[in-house]
């Protein structure tokens, strides 16, 4: 490992992560590799297999992006978007409408984070029903083991241990936010069930929830097309998303897909933008969709809400207005940079590349990990977004005790092997095991895929031996 020594670390002045210490800090990056300063030493040439948090579509230090940023800075003038908008926001919106399946979306709103985008989606849904004269449609259905953001609105529709402590400040999670089961085939599909049968069981459960809670009071169903940190990239079983779409049509509900982490080219089968295109025809597109992460490739802070024609048309025939907005929504500089990045990705066909290379990475991980004895219980994902779930017993799928911190330890072992991944803890109730997420940049090659796989397999073997020696596995 290449290590260069610096001065001893100073105390942290940032109120984030470990409060009294700066912790590991990124100090540079080029392509798929970054340099990290940790405890006074700089570790160079670290392979970034998570691109921050599934963010870096173009990798780091891209020379074209520097020019895009420079041009955007020279041409952008700030204005408060509810009063005066800008051409960059319009152009970015048009890009998404034009590069989505025909008729899927009609407009977009740009904000600064995925959390903001999901908060805005909730507001848009609320106004949609007010515009229609249906003020009682207020209830929001979302899934167990879901995560939709860090703001209190986004956390209100999330169900996982990370939000439990803040429940007193969240929307009413009995009368307003309604929980349904996740689509989690690895743990909850019965051995005798087909994918289609499992999907139907989930759809029947959803329909019962709708009926039990009065369809005339329900506003929407929110689903992560491909879950991220909360569950670990579980692809929806066959027919599941179509079944939700049909129920939303039947009971006059908004179908909201959260693709903040899995979308904008990371997991698209057609070399385009949306993960749901793996599972749905254009006529079954979501009514509203949240996006983010790879949109700005980490060079700017931007996320968005894609609005379908069904919603836009109701606004047009009603008030034709959206009152208020975030100070930095539709920010001209952010939108201009994101548009330039998306145009570069499209020109270089990088969404097709990450789908091919990502699926290759996933298959090689399956072949290498599941063919021999180790702590890997499942390898799952689509395109450029994959997870490994760790289990104590592969046959029974028994998760490790949370006190062992298997996800965190795996991340640390990977770091020692010059690989950056996201390690997540399991749920205390055993409903999901510790897991590691992989989401490399769109620019990866087969050579990089092989390097990622080699380092992951090596790290799994090391941690498996450690846990075995401790009597934990």
446-469 vs 406-416: helix crossing angle, rounded to 10: 120
Whether residues 55 and 108 fall in one domain: no
Neighbours of 21 (CB within 10 A): 12
Neighbours of 286 (CB within 10 A): 28
Q: What integer pLDDT is reported at residue 8 of this predicted model?
A: 53
36 beta partners: 26, 43
Q: What integer pLDDT is reported at residue 7 of this predicted model?
A: 53
Query: Rounded CA gap, 78 and 428, in Å?
Result: 46
Whether residues 361 and 289 fall in one domain: no
Structural domain span for residue 278: 67-347
> Which CATH number do you get for residue 18?
3.90.1150.10
Contact 394, 22 (CB under 8 A): no
Q: What integer pLDDT is reported at residue 39 of this predicted model?
A: 86
Last residue of a domain, one of 295, 323, 347: 347
Whether residues 326 and 399 fall in one domain: no
Whether residues 129 and 102 fall in one domain: yes
> Which CATH number do you get for residue 183?
3.40.640.10
Last residue of a domain, one of 284, 319, 347: 347
Whether residues 366 and 334 fall in one domain: no
180 beta partners: 143
Whether residues 382 and 453 fall in one domain: yes
Instruction: Give the full edge-to-edge strand order of the sheet including 422-424.
Output: 376-382, 385-390, 435-438, 422-424
Whether residues 414 and 392 fall in one domain: yes
Strand, coil or helix: what is 431? coil
Whether residues 132 and 23 fall in one domain: no
Based on the structure, what is the number of domains in the chain?
Answer: 2
Q: What integer pLDDT is reported at residue 18 of this predicted model?
A: 87
Residues written for the chain: 473
Q: What integer pLDDT is reported at residue 4 of this predicted model?
A: 53
Neighbours of 247 (CB within 10 A): 20
Query: Rounded CA gap, 225 and 266, in Å?
Result: 12
Whether residues 37 and 71 fall in one domain: no
Q: Exposure pattern of 152-178 as b/e (b: 16+ CB <10 Å)? A: ebbbbbbbbbebeeeeeebbebeeebb
Whether residues 233 and 341 fall in one domain: yes
Last residue of a domain, one of 305, 321, 347: 347
Whether residues 299 and 320 fall in one domain: yes
Whether residues 53 and 184 fall in one domain: no
Profile the chain (473 residues) by mean pLDDT over runs of 10 residues: 53 89 92 94 96 97 98 97 95 98 98 98 98 98 97 96 95 96 97 97 98 98 96 97 98 98 98 98 98 98 98 98 93 98 98 98 98 98 98 97 97 98 94 97 98 98 98 97
Q: What integer pLDDT is reported at residue 387 of this predicted model?
A: 98
């Amino acid at each position: 490992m290449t290590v260069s020594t610096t001065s001893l670390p100073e105390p942290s002045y940032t109120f984030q992560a470990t409060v009294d210490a700066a912790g590991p800090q990124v100090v540079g990056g080029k392509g798929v590799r970054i340099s990290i300063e940790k405890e006074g030493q700089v570790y160079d040439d670290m392979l970034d297999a998570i691109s921050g948090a599934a963010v870096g579509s173009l990798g780091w230090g891209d020379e074209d992006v520097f020019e895009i940023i420079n041009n955007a800075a020279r041409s952008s003038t700030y204005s408060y978007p509810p009063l005066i908008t800008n051409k960059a926001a319009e152009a970015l919106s048009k890009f998404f409408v034009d590069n989505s399946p025909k008729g899927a979306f009609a407009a977009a709103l740009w904000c600064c984070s995925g959390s903001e985008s999901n908060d805005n989606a909730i507001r848009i849904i609320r106004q949609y029903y007010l515009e229609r004269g249906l003020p009682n449609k207020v209830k929001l259905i979302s899934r167990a083991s879901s995560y939709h953001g860090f703001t209190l609105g986004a956390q209100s529709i999330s169900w996982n241990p990370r939000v439990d402590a803040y429940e007193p400040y969240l929307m009413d999670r009995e009368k307003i936010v309604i929980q349904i089961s996740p689509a989690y085939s690895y743990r909850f599909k019965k051995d005798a069930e087909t994918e289609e049968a499992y999907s139907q069981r989930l759809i029947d459960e959803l329909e019962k929830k709708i009926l039990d809670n009065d369809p005339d009071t329900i506003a929407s169903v929110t689903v992560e097309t491909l879950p991220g940190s909360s569950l670990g990239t579980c692809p929806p079983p066959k027919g599941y998303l179509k079944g939700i779409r049909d129920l939303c049509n039947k009971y006059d509900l908004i179908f909201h897909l959260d693709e903040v982490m899995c979308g904008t080219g990371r997991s698209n089968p057609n070399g385009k933008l949306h993960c749901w295109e793996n599972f749905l025809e254009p006529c079954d597109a979501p009514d509203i969709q949240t996006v983010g992460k790879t949109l700005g490739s980490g060079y700017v802070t931007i996320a968005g809400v894609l609005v379908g024609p069904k919603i836009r048309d109701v606004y047009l025939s009603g008030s034709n207005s959206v009152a208020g907005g975030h100070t930095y929504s539709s920010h001209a500089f952010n939108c201009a940079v994101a548009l330039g990045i998306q145009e570069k990705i499209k020109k270089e066909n990088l969404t097709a590349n990450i789908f091919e290379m990502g699926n290759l990475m996933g298959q090689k991980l399956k072949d290498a990990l599941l063919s021999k004895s180790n702590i890997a219980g499942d390898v799952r994902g689509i395109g450029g977004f994959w997870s490994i779930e760790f289990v104590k017993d592969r046959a029974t799928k028994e998760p490790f005790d949370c006190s062992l911190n298997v996800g965190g330890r795996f991340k640390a072992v990977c770091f020692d092997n010059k690989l950056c991944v996201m390690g997540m803890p399991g749920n205390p109730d055993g409903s999901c095991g510790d897991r590691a997420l992989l989401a490399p940049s769109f620019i990866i090659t087969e050579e990089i895929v092989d390097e990622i796989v080699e380092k992951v397999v090596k790290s799994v073997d090391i941690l498996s031996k450690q846990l075995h020696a401790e009597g934990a596995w």
